[in-house]
Chains A and B, each alone.
Chain A
Amino acid sequence: MSARITGAVFTSHVPAIGVAMDLGKTAEPYWQPLFTGYEPARSWIQDNPPDAVILVYNDHANAFGLDMVPTFALGMSASYEPADEGWGPRPVPSVKGHPALSAHIAHSVIQQDFDLTLVNNMPVDHGLTVPLSIMFGQPDAWPCLVIPLAINVVQYPVPSGRRCLELGKAIRRAVESFDDDLNVQIWGTGGMSHQLQGPRAGLINTDFDNAFLDRIVTNPEAQAAMPHVDYVREAGSEGIELVMWLVARGALADMAGGLPPREAHRLYHVPASNTAVGQLILEEATD
């Protein structure tokens, strides 16, 4: 039996959400509604535990400064340490990788004409660890293996929505040709609307975000055609992170001619710190 993608989780990765958990503030009035909103997702992941997660996120000037700016960077390692982003490393477990699956994805996806950068040594920042905390809480060890896939959405030019969707399709083909019985989820993280710089900082666009949540489910091909400037103008300069959701969406069966996924959970909440929070779970049809 080969490996298979069984579902996709889409989630914001706001650092303050991680801080709230790390400092035990989740029951405070500011945070309590959001963490209550996460409960169905946490329950879903308990019922649908993955063996491995391909975690699509962006590095925020932690593994990659300006020495190297890879567009698509695939983690190849057996383990990844939480980064010290300036406040000290988050008190969360090391992330365990799956080098054999990473190597297989590298072979397959590069031969499908995506020029991945292969990274053997990188710390992982809040973009990767906050989604794990949101889904799994505070375990002593993360309950699944993780393959980090870091997308450059910090320095322009960043990859187009179309390119991200197509990368997801290539990843699906890679996973399905991996000769091991493995339950794989793909997570797309970042967003939703937010702007962290300049006099326009604090921008939130609820209409844009909710339309995005609808389209990522029902019409990802149309969403993939949206130009970058629309994200920046409508969802803020950091709202561009949402293109990463298209990588995860592209890896689901209907993008390869199969059945559409089932929406198992959706959450939208404003704010967490400076950011609108979205969460969506799509699970593959089983027949």
Chain B
Amino acid sequence: MGLDKPYLDIPGTTVFDTEQAAAGYWLNQFCMSLMKVENRERFLTDEPGYLDEWAMTGTQKQGVLDRDFNGLIALGGNIYFLAKIGATDGQSYVQIVSSMTENDAIAHAEMMVNGGRSPDGNRYLHEWENRV
């Protein structure tokens, strides 16, 4: 019997489990390196060169260059690690988080002030089948 992963049935959500962590190991460890100011500066000076120091896949490196956070999460990244890329860019969590949604940062912040995204219609994959 395989492992039970009931969380795979939630739309727009990737749970960072041990399988995701294995796929994203070097991507996330690269992100950890950005906790040092000298590494943040070195990364911003030559992003492709800095990324080549890490055993990441080409797709992961391109995702970093594109700041494609949804793509990076699918490739094993975790938001708390990826947020260090946003921090290096001087971005807030609202800016980083909103980039993964249908809203820009201003519309996202406004949605939050108005009570956030409702769970209604957002609990199960089948509820998003006809989402545009």
Query: Bound state CA distance, A67 and B32, in angstroms?
Result: 10
Known: A86-B84, A155-B21. A62 touches B10 (CB 8 A): no
Contact (A85, B87) CB under 8 Å given A198-B13, A199-B100: yes
Q: In the complex the two chains form, is B11's CB within 8 Å of A87's CB?
A: no
B interface residues, Cβ below 8 angstroms from A: 6-7, 10-18, 21, 25, 28-29, 31-32, 34-37, 40, 69-70, 73, 78-81, 83-84, 86-88, 92-94, 97-98, 100-103, 108, 111-113, 115-119, 122-124
CA distance A156 to B13 in the complex (A): 14
| Contact indicator B116/A203 (Cβ below 8 Å) | yes
A199 touches B101 (CB 8 A): yes
Docked Cα-Cα span, A157 to B112, in Å, equals 29
Interface of A is mostly: loop
Q: A86, B115: Cβ atoms under 8 Å?
A: no
Please state if B35 and A62 are interface contacts (CB–CB under 8 Å): yes
Q: Is the CB of B112 within 8 A of A202?
A: yes
**Does A204 lie at the interface of the complex (its beta carbon under 8 Å from any beta carbon of B)?**
yes
Asked if A233 meets B123 with Cβ closer than 8 Å, knowing A201-B100, A202-B97, the reply is: yes
Report the minimal beta-carbon distance from B10 to chain A, rounded to whole angstroms: 5
Q: Identify B13's interface contact among A88, A200, A205, CB under 8 A.
A: A200
Contact of B21 among A16, A66, A85, A206 (CB under 8 A): A66
Q: Is the CB of A228 within 8 A of B13?
A: no
Which chain A positions have C-beta within 8 A of B35?
62, 83-86
A66-B21, A229-B6, A274-B94 known; A198 vs B100 contact (CB < 8 Å):
yes
Report B106 CB to chain A, min CB distance, Å: 13
Number of A-B contacts (CB under 8 A): 159
| Cβ of B74 to closest chain A Cβ, rounded Å | 9
A60 at the interface (CB under 8 A from B): yes
Q: Is A65 in contact with B97, judged by CB distance below 8 angstroms?
A: no
Contact call A65/B98, Cβ cutoff below 8 A: no
Residues of A bordering B, CB below 8 Å: 15-16, 30, 60-62, 65-67, 69, 83-88, 154-157, 193, 195-206, 208, 227-229, 232-234, 237-238, 270-271, 273-274, 276
Cβ of B89 to closest chain A Cβ, rounded Å: 10
- Chain B nearest CB from A188 CB (Å) reads 19
Cα separation A193 to B117 with both chains bound (whole Å): 11
Q: Cα distance A69–B78 when bound, in Å?
A: 14
- Minimum Cβ distance to chain B for residue A30 (Å): 8
| Sample of 16 further A-B pairs with CB below 8 A, known A198-B100, A201-B97 | A60-B80, A61-B81, A65-B81, A86-B40, A154-B80, A157-B17, A196-B83, A201-B100, A202-B101, A202-B108, A203-B116, A206-B115, A237-B13, A237-B15, A270-B116, A274-B94
Of B7, B25, B98, the residue contacting A201 (CB under 8 A) is B98
Is the Cβ of A198 less than 8 Å from the Cβ of B80? no
- Contact call B11/A200, Cβ cutoff below 8 A: yes
Q: How far, in whole Å, are A199 and B108 apart by their CA atoms in the complex?
A: 11
Question: Which of A86, A199, A208 meets B102, CB within 8 Å?
Answer: A199
Whether A203 contacts B78 by the Cβ 8 Å rule is no
Q: Are A232 and B100 in contact (CB under 8 A)?
A: no
